[in-house]
Amino acid sequence: GDSVTQMEGPVTLSEEAFLTINCTYTATGYPSLFWYVQYPGEGLQLLLKATKADDKGSNKGFEATYRKETTSFHLEKGSVQVSDSAVYFCALSDWSPDDKIIFGKGTRLHILP
Amino acid sequence: GAGVSQSPSNKVTEKGKDVELRCDPISGHTALYWYRQSLGQGLEFLIYFQGNSAPDKSGLPSDRFSAERTGGSVSTLTIQRTQQEDSAVYLCASNRQGGNEQFFGPGTRLTVL
């Protein structure tokens, strides 16, 4: 079945460092890909998405490009801030009738001032 | 407008007791999803509703788990004879028909002693 694999955390970086969180997927069709973020004490929020190959999703300085050839959707940010500390989930939806989302296990990110 | 709401926000119960978790989706959203977030396990799909019917119950972990939705709106997830391994955050999400972006509630943290 479909699945998502993302790098295990926690990831600890200093403020203004470059961030990459790797994500790869397995899907039989042509899924939509997502990054969700969960800030401390809050619910899941959609951070960005891409619906077809070579699309780039971006939001709040974060970017991810849908790479069909490598089945990847790595999350990047050029200069992280303390406020980016959160858990990040890579996910896919395969456009099946139920549109359920398959999530990775999440990567906890700590940004040090 | 209001987002997805869930109640209670926290529930502590004794092993063997039944619990009910409630989800109020965004008004007009026809699809409703329940997920479970266990420590270190990511998010696990439980059940999906389209309107009041549940075409996919494959994620329910045992027959102690059941869910219903009435009036195409509020949903209740019931766990009977709770076990310690049921301790987790239970998340509800909704989306509009034809959309694949899900909007999540803040979750209910269930602790089974």
Concatenated DSSP letters of A4-56: EEE--S-EEEETT--EEE-EEEE-SS--EEEEEEE-TTS-EEEEEEE-STT-E
As a 3-state breakdown, chain B gives helix, strand, coil percent values, each rounded to 5, of 5, 50, 45
Torsion from C-alpha of A11, A45, B43, B99, nearest 10 degrees:
-140
How many angstroms separate the CA of residue A80 from the nearest CA in chain B?
Answer: 23
Which residues in chain B have their CB less than 8 angstroms from residue A43's CB? 4, 91, 104-107
Which residues in chain B have their CB less than 8 angstroms from residue A10's CB? none
- CB distance B104–A100 less than 8 Å? no
Render pLDDT for B39-80 as a digit per residue (tens, 0 to 9).
767 788 899 898 888 877 888 999 999 999 988 899 999 999
Work out the pLDDT band at B1, boundaries 50, 70, 90. Answer: low
